[in-house]
Structure 1
């Protein structure tokens, strides 16, 4: 499954707004938070070091406001303005902002703006960006308890579905990470060249398979049955990666 990952930065001098937008970004699968800062001056230095796809940018900030800063941003970076003042809307669109979020805004409003950005990048970059993003994507953030945990996909052995929860089994952990999510939703976020669903309750990391015995995959002494529903896809993978 190809997944577009849009790298982004949040710039806002209000700590509560910065924290809220960060929480929105982290729960949006196609957004990848790279930087957050509380001043446009700091943001200017950071984006010169690492160009990013998308900026969530407050307008009213000291020293250098968002509108002034937006004129200094590389043309490859797009902007969604976030502000409490509606009178800036026209000026915001004059600098070709993708969207304009009026504070306070909820996650549904944020997601609508983020989807607009996703569609813009899809139209501009086409499938090539999606393919490169798929290869580059090597981690996921998952909610476990009250934390957002970063899961390195290279460390994953397999995902085990338990009704509304998923157990994430990692190489060096005897105890699984438990997160509230469905396997169906997770499957859409994973790079298909690295992971495959082989059972209603299991998605496996293909490069850690130790053995295959009849209809069972063995990973770290765990036997996982390949169900009939997923067997044709798995056999096709085996055929392409076997020496006759």
Structure 2
């Protein structure tokens, strides 16, 4: 089934509104729900009709795009548009799909729109995993792109403060995304993933060797905190003789 994304353009610059509207018209899977010159107008439109995606300017008087985005429910996705590249990281902190730095051309626009298409295709597909079952994959922001991570391939996850590194089988380098360890832990199925240390979450199904209260992944040794050791052993069940 073809995906149609209802999008709303929010920008206080008339030229930007017209340009993005012309780009939306060229993009088959985008359907224009309207265009607004402020976040307050956008609220009125969104109260009257369903909106899936916002092309949202960051710098606007009264209520900025970042401030407005924090009020949205999780079903509405955001692609920020801004004349200032330094706002890109701020945009990702509020879970934006992407950002476009003005002036941007149609090729740049459609690359960002395709990220939205990927996101909605995964979430709306009739073949996706039902809500009452654990998800088999997740989409994470890695730099300026969205990357799909198959949970079965994850070996372990390591904390880097406000970022995490996701180590997967068959991948030479980890996927690095801006997310706290607590947020990552909440996204993972608790029967398959276990936080064995404040800095490490492991995929229980990938654990093959435990040595001296450390999990061994090749040349990497992950400590098991004493405070969680008993619960971790229970989760492992009879797979190991401890």
TM-score (norm 2): 0.52
Which one of 96, 103, 111 corresponds to residue 73 of structure 2? 111
Kept in 1, the 8 Å contact 2:214–2:224? The answer is yes
Q: Secondary structure at the match of 1:111?
A: coil
Tell me the residue number matched to 2:194: 196
Change (3 A) 1:88 1:161: closer
TM-score (norm 1): 0.52
C-alpha separation between the residues in 2 aligned to 1:88 and 1:177?
A: 35
| Unpaired segments ≥5 residues, structure 2 | 10-18, 36-40, 57-64, 77-128
Tell me the residue number matched to 2:183: 185
Which one of 7, 12, 16 corresponds to residue 12 of structure 1? 7
Matches within 5 A, 1:130-145: 132-133=130-131, 135-145=133-143
The answer to whether the aligner puts 1:37 opposite 2:29 as a matched pair is yes
Kept in 1, the 8 Å contact 2:5–2:53? The answer is no
Tell me the residue number matched to 1:238: 236
Which one of 222, 225, 230 corresponds to residue 224 of structure 1? 222
Q: What is the deviation of 1:157?
A: 0.7
Q: What is the deviation of 1:182?
A: 1.1
| Unpaired segments ≥5 residues, structure 1 | 1-7, 20-35, 40-57, 62-82, 115-130
Kept in 2, the 8 Å contact 1:85–1:102? The answer is no
Moved over 4 A (4+): 13-17, 58-61, 83-90, 99-105, 240-244
Q: What is the deviation of 1:109?
A: 2.9
C-alpha separation between the residues in 1 aligned to 2:136 and 2:142?
A: 19
Q: What is the deviation of 1:16?
A: 4.7
Kept in 1, the 8 Å contact 2:155–2:206? The answer is yes
Q: Secondary structure at the match of 1:150?
A: strand
Matches within 5 A, 1:152-171: 152-171=150-169
Q: Deviations over 1:77-115 (max 9, x none)?
A: xxxxxx85948956x5xxxx7x9999977212322776x
Q: Secondary structure at the match of 2:172?
A: coil
Q: What is the deviation of 1:183?
A: 0.8
Change (3 A) 1:13 1:211: same
Change (3 A) 1:86 1:150: same
Q: Deviations over 1:8-40 (max 9, x none)?
A: 9632386958x9xxxxxxxxxxxxxxxx9224x
Q: What is the deviation of 1:239?
A: 2.9
Aligned residues: 159
Q: Secondary structure at the match of 1:185?
A: helix
Q: Secondary structure at the match of 2:183?
A: helix
Kept in 1, the 8 Å contact 2:8–2:33? The answer is no
